[in-house]
Amino acid sequence: MLITYLPVLLIVGFVIFMATMVLFVNSLVSPKKPFREKLSPWECGMEPIGNADAGHFKVHFFVIAILFIVFDVETLFLFPWAVVLRDMGLVAFVEMFIFISILAIGLVYAWKKGALEWV
């Protein structure tokens, strides 16, 4: 039975080999001449203003965006499940109940940690 996975394993091995070879060849032929302009920070084609440590960047907006994407993908899983629920029976209902329960636990955890506070 494991022989049926042989083509997939060969493809995965080939991809890993090619990625390794590309990185190796790149390290051999790439120019290594660091100079002041190359090592300076670049900000939208303009010289950076001020110190990078001076302003704090809030990652809270990204946390909310990631939570939105997680629950948006959950909705994508719910639609096909709802369409075929009668055909699949009680097992599909229980599996989706477990799936929604895990996401609800994650939502409660995020809520308790304050990830949903818009401050």
Q: Return the CATH number at 86.
A: 1.20.58.1610
Considering the domain architecture, whether residues 67 and 106 belong to the same structural domain is answered as: yes
The domain of 93 spans 58-119
Q: What is the pLDDT of residue 85?
A: 85
Cα–Cα distance between 79 and 19 in angstroms, integer?
A: 38
Considering the domain architecture, whether residues 64 and 22 belong to the same structural domain is answered as: no
Instruction: Give 30's DSSP letter.
Output: S
Q: What is the pLDDT of residue 94?
A: 92
Task: Please report whether residue 91 resides in a domain.
Answer: yes
pTM: 0.48
Q: What is the pLDDT of residue 53?
A: 65
Task: Please report whether residue 53 resides in a domain.
Answer: no
Instruction: Give 53's DSSP letter.
Output: T
Number of structural domains the chain divides into: 2
Considering the domain architecture, whether residues 68 and 110 belong to the same structural domain is answered as: yes
Considering the domain architecture, whether residues 62 and 119 belong to the same structural domain is answered as: yes
Q: Which residues of the chain have pLDDT under 50?
A: none
Cα dihedral value 7, 8, 13, 14, nearest 10: 70
